[in-house]
A = this chain, B = another copy of it.
């Protein structure tokens, strides 16, 4: 997320009262806050979390999905020795049946769902994927496509014994155009590695998310990932230019164009963006990358109330204009958890709310002037009471870590009930306050954070352990509350296994019916990622 910079001050810190000061210092040095830690960036990836979780002795074994959720196995065939032999012929040496390797692929990184697949396949090419799916189609074998397994809704692991089709070895860049910034690559490329690749060539990936160190671009597209750059670069529906997809019967659908504009008929690739592997397996992606900004600044600010957060956002849009690239918020409880579980220090004085504002632009001088203008206005009018700005990469990354690692901090706090909703910004935080009052001491923590600039709230509730009673207090309350505001019950995480039955809170029956018709058209035997995305009853 943070790229080449031309620092004006490497970092400075200020206070609203009695008067704010800046402290210039050498690039890379930490200032002001002595407790500020230096965080290795990659630690924030899900692989790191998963590592932590599996080595911690107190972590209990994840209950099989079929025991926790009311789901019945559909009458697919069971993988036989003959099937394994057939797969071995298609991808020699890449048919995995080792239980330890399967354990990692059967459990989601949040440790909430567990499948019991007996085989993991690692194709390298589209042709291999096509052969595998053709075989599965003939044999009526269900398939769970898997990227980096970083999904939030149980969509990336099997529910029963579905074959796991991993894109991990499909990790080659196919082409990159130095002038247009158009990247074509296989689906299994890791987002962070792609970002490094295009950064070296003067561009950045149009999306960024906490899981970047593990997630695959194919999985990002299949789940229509939003993330931290959405505010500036928009949806994957605009930035993805082409896809190559293998359909359920093994047919290869080549829509892998690299054109910014192409109005030749229906835009078929859109069917697969956000369909969570239920309509086809994405094998390659063509994506438009924006130029790498010459200057990046990150401001981390304390706000006295949520009304001030909203007003700061309006001020921010007015003063920063086209260089605003992120506007994130977190509440005081988030900061407390990040400090408690990850030992990250609060870089500003304690406040009820914190915001992170990022600018990305082509002129360090102009950007700094704009940011100064915003900060002066925000401080002068009391919207912000305290803050720090990072203009060098290390400081900026440290500030981002406070926001990005909230998910990780939560996972250390106990069982996490996760909600990811879109709401009108005026009502954005009311849901958190309402829920805190409703649950009282039954919850350890009720926290709110997220992409305020996109109207996307991450609402999380932690408890010592999973409890159906607490679940009953949360659901359908959260969904009816959201539906009453005409919000979305899944802003960016998708539906997967755990949210599919709440689809009706955001989509009318006609739309759900059309979804089922599309599923029947593209995957009539229902082999691809079964039990996911579509509600159980049509």
**A235–B521 Cα gap in the complex (Å)?**
27
Please name all residues of chain B whose beta carbon is closer than 8 Å to the beta carbon of A260 when the two chains form the complex: 230, 422, 454-456
What residue in chain B is nearest A231 (Cβ atoms)?
Answer: B260
A39: interface (CB < 8 Å):
no
Which chain B residues lie closer than 8 Å to A521 at the CB level? 517-518, 521
For residue A135, CB closer than 8 A to chain B, the reply is: no
Which B residues are CB-close (under 8 A) to A321? 291, 293-294, 361-363
- The number of chain A residues touching the other chain, given as a range, is 35 or more
Of residues 483 to 519 in A, which have CB atoms within 8 Å of B's CB atoms?
486-495, 499, 503, 506-508, 510-512, 514-515, 517-518
Name A313's closest neighbour in chain B (CB-CB): B179
Collect the chain B residues with CB atoms within 8 Å of residue A254's CB.
Answer: 508, 510-511
Render A258-277 as a binary contact track against B, CB cut-off 8 A, 1 for contact: 11111111111011011100
Contacts of A491 in B (CB 8 A): 259, 261-263
A488 to B265, Cβ gap below 8 A? no
Report whether B238 and A234 are in contact in the complex, using a CB–CB cutoff of 8 Å.
yes
- Interface positions, chain A 362-402, Cβ under 8 Å from B, are 362-363, 366, 369-370
Give the chain B neighbours of A361 by CB distance below 8 A.
Answer: 321-322
Interface on A for B, CB 8 Å cutoff? 177, 179-180, 223-224, 226, 230, 234-235, 237-239, 251-255, 257-268, 270-271, 273-275, 279, 291, 293-294, 314, 317-323, 360-363, 366, 369-370, 422, 424-426, 451, 454-456, 486-495, 499, 503, 506-508, 510-512, 514-515, 517-518, 521, 533-534
Contacts beyond the supplied A262-B506, A267-B274: 13 A-B pairs with Cβ under 8 Å: A258-B486, A260-B456, A261-B451, A261-B488, A261-B491, A262-B422, A263-B492, A263-B495, A265-B534, A268-B511, A271-B271, A291-B321, A294-B321
